[in-house]
Amino acid sequence: MEQFLQTLPKVLLTIVICAIVLFVIAIVLTVMYENSRKASGKKRKESSIWEDRKRTFFGMPWSFTKYALDDERFYLERGLFNTRYDEVRLYRMTDVVLTRTLMQKIFGIGSLSIDSSDKNLGNFSIINIRDSERVKEIFSKKIEEQRKANRVYTRESIGYDEPHDMDHDGLGDDFDGHEDY
């Protein structure tokens, strides 16, 4: 037992050092992969305007969630063994909101929340992406273009704080329950 207690700190130190080395190797390989993709201009979809992966630990793309955007659609691919592919036409999207926590700001990432009328995906989030402010602007511009091209208009209701104070015809209060003569 005494010998075991003497070797335990050495074993733990070795495990910690190995974990740190593996972590550094993973970061280096990820950065090399990202730089080679940028240099070659390679994209998953030839018509992609933007694509990225969900970024998890320290803003690194260690995830099996992939995002892509072209002129007409947004693509979402999730999973490794069981993969689900979703796509949403841009004209079905109505609102884009950017959220950035302090940790996301530190690592240069952010998340977009998108309201859509798509039946399968509904409202969804694009989580932990690079250049989130630029991507939000791309989405806003492309959504507006597609809504105009497809003649899709959203009717926003115009409300009044106190409708009982309104007088539409100048003859008296229209909402008091009495007819105006």
- For residues 64 and 112, membership in a common domain is answered with yes
Q: Please indicate whether residue 168 or residue 93 has the higher confidence score (pLDDT).
A: 93
Give the per-residue pLDDT at 47.
Answer: 80
Asked, for residue 169, whether it belongs to a domain, the answer is no
- For residues 54 and 112, membership in a common domain is answered with yes
- For residues 75 and 90, membership in a common domain is answered with yes
Cα separation, 33 vs 25, in Å, equals 12
- For residues 141 and 60, membership in a common domain is answered with yes
- For residues 122 and 72, membership in a common domain is answered with yes
- For residues 60 and 19, membership in a common domain is answered with no
**Separation in Å, CA 15 to CA 3, 10, 25:** 19, 9, 15
Q: Is the pLDDT of residue 52 over 70?
A: yes
Cα separation, 114 vs 138, in Å, equals 13
Q: What is the pLDDT of residues 138-165, one digit of tens each?
A: 999 999 999 999 998 766 544 544 444 5
- For residues 37 and 112, membership in a common domain is answered with no
- For residues 128 and 107, membership in a common domain is answered with yes
∠ CA 62-67-68, rounded to 5°:
140
Asked, for residue 143, whether it belongs to a domain, the answer is yes
Q: Is the pLDDT of residue 1 over 90?
A: no
* Biggest distance spanned by C-alpha atoms of the chain: 104
Give the H/E segment covering residue 69.
strand 66-69
**Where a domain ends, among 9, 24, 42?**
42
Asked, for residue 58, whether it belongs to a domain, the answer is yes
CATH code, domain carrying 68 = 2.30.29.30
- For residues 52 and 4, membership in a common domain is answered with no
Cα separation, 180 vs 173, in Å, equals 8
Tokens encoding 172: 């008296």
Asked, for residue 174, whether it belongs to a domain, the answer is no
Q: Please indicate whether residue 56 or residue 124 has the higher confidence score (pLDDT).
A: 124
Over the chain, what is the mean pLDDT? 81
Q: What is the pLDDT of residues 126-138, one digit of tens each?
A: 999 999 999 999 9
Amino acid at residue number 104 = Q
Please state the pTM of the whole predicted model.
Answer: 0.62
User: How many structural domains compose the chain?
Assistant: 2
Q: What is the pLDDT of residues 77-108, one digit of tens each?
A: 999 889 999 999 999 999 999 999 999 999 99
DSSP, residue by residue, 77-119: EE-SSS-EEEEEEGGGEEEEEEE--HHHHHHTEEEEEEEE--T
Residue range(s) defining the domain that contains residue 74: 45-152
Exposure pattern of 65-74 as b/e (b: 16+ CB <10 Å)? bbbbbbeebb
